[in-house]
C-alpha cells in the first residue's frame, strides 16, 4: 500500500530556517515532489527529487534518501508569504500517478 | 507559469442538478488529471487522461465522469449533484515524457451542493 506522513502543523519566525519532513512507504517509487499551497489556492510546484541527495532552488532545498523512504524540504530566510501548506507527493513506480500526503501547514510569525 | 484554467471558481447548486466543471490548458500537455480535495485533507486522484479519447478512473471512486475530445479540454460532469459531492476539485496537466513530468494545477473549483 501507500503511506505518506508529514507533520500536520509547524510554526517558525520570519528570517529563520525550517525543515519539513516527509516519510513514505510505497509499492514502487518514481520520484518525490514538493508543492506549496496557499489557503484556497492551487498547489504550485516547488521541487522534484528522484535520486538521493539535495536539490537547491534559491531559498528552498529538498533532500531525498530512497533507502530510508525520507525527504525533507528546507526553507531558509523565511518570509511571511511562506505561510502555506507544503504537500509531499510520491510518484508510483511505472506510473505517473501522484500520491499526496495531507500537507504540513506552516505559519510564519514576525 | 502554468496556463491552466478552471471555471467556475465557485459553485453553489441544489441537489439533483447536473453540473460540468471546465478545465482547459494552453500548454499542449497530453496528460490531464482531476483531483478532489476536502479542507485540510490530501488530494485524491479521481480521473486522468493520457490524451484525446483516453480516460481512466483514479484511485478514489467518484460518481463523476470525464471526457477528452480535445487535447486542451478535460471537463468533469456530475449528472446529479448531492451534498456528498461538496469539495474542491483541482485539475492538473503534465507533458508526456521528460524527467520530471511535473503536474501543474489549475486554480480549482469549490463546489457546494445544498
Q: Residue B102 and residue A33: Cβ atoms within 8 Å?
A: yes
Q: Which residue has the cell 508526456?
A: B96
- What local confidence, expressed as pLDDT, does residue B99 receive? 57
First and final CA of chain A: distance in angstroms? 41
- What local confidence, expressed as pLDDT, does residue B100 receive? 67
Closest CA to A43 of B90, B8, B86: B90
To the nearest whole angstrom, how far is the Cα of B73 from the nearest Cα of chain A? 18
To the nearest whole angstrom, how far is the Cα of A96 from the nearest Cα of chain B? 8
Residue of B42, B99, B108 lying closest to A102 (CB–CB)? B42
**Burial, B17: exposed, middle or buried (Cβ in 10 Å; 0-12, 13-18, 19+)?**
middle
Instruction: Calculate the alpha carbon distances from A28 to A2, A25, A66, A93, B38 in Å.
Output: 9, 9, 11, 4, 26
Tell me, yes or no, if A57 comes closer than 8 A to chain B by beta carbon: no
Q: What are the tens digits of pLDDT across the range B37-74?
A: 998 888 999 999 999 999 999 988 888 999 999 999 99
- Tell me what the mean pLDDT of segment A62-68 comes to: 96
Which residues of chain A lie closer than 8 angstroms to B58, CB-CB? Answer: 97
Closest CA to B46 of A36, A98, A8: A98
Tell me, yes or no, if B80 comes closer than 8 A to chain A by beta carbon: no
Beta bridge partners of A11: A107
- What local confidence, expressed as pLDDT, does residue A29 receive? 87
- Tell me what the mean pLDDT of segment A8-25 comes to: 97
**Burial, B57: exposed, middle or buried (Cβ in 10 Å; 0-12, 13-18, 19+)?**
middle
pLDDT > 70? residue A109: yes
Contact B105, A44 (CB under 8 A): yes
To the nearest whole angstrom, how far is the Cα of B107 from the nearest Cα of chain A? 5
Mean model confidence pLDDT for chain B: 92
Amino acid at each position: 500500500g501507500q503511506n505518506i506522513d508529514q507533520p500536520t502543523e509547524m510554526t517558525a519566525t520570519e528570517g529563520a530556517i525550517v525543515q519539513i519532513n516527509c516519510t513514505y512507504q510505497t509499492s514502487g517509487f518514481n520520484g518525490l515532489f514538493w508543492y506549496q499551497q496557499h489557503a484556497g489556492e492551487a498547489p504550485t510546484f516547488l521541487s522534484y527529487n528522484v535520486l538521493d541527495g539535495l536539490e537547491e532552488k534559491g531559498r528552498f532545498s529538498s533532500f531525498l534518501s530512497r533507502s530510508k523512504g525520507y525527504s525533507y524540504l528546507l526553507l531558509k530566510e523565511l518570509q511571511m508569504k511562506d505561510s502555506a501548506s507544503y504537500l509531499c507527493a510520491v510518484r508510483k513506480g511505472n506510473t505517473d500517478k501522484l500520491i499526496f500526503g495531507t500537507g504540513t501547514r506552516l505559519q510564519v510569525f514576525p | 507559469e502554468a496556463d491552466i484554467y478552471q471555471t467556475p471558481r465557485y459553485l453553489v447548486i441544489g441537489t439533483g442538478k447536473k453540473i460540468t466543471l471546465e478545465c482547459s490548458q494552453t500548454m499542449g500537455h497530453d496528460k490531464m488529471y482531476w483531483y478532489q480535495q476536502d479542507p485540510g485533507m490530501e488530494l485524491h486522484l479521481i480521473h486522468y487522461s493520457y490524451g484525446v479519447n483516453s480516460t481512466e478512473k483514479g484511485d478514489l471512486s467518484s460518481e463523476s465522469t470525464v471526457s477528452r475530445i480535445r487535447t486542451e479540454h478535460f471537463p468533469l460532469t456530475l449528472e446529479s449533484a448531492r451534498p456528498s459531492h461538496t469539495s474542491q476539485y483541482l485539475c492538473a496537466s503534465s507533458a508526456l515524457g521528460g524527467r520530471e513530468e511535473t503536474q501543474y494545477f489549475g486554480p480549482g473549483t469549490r463546489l457546494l451542493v445544498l
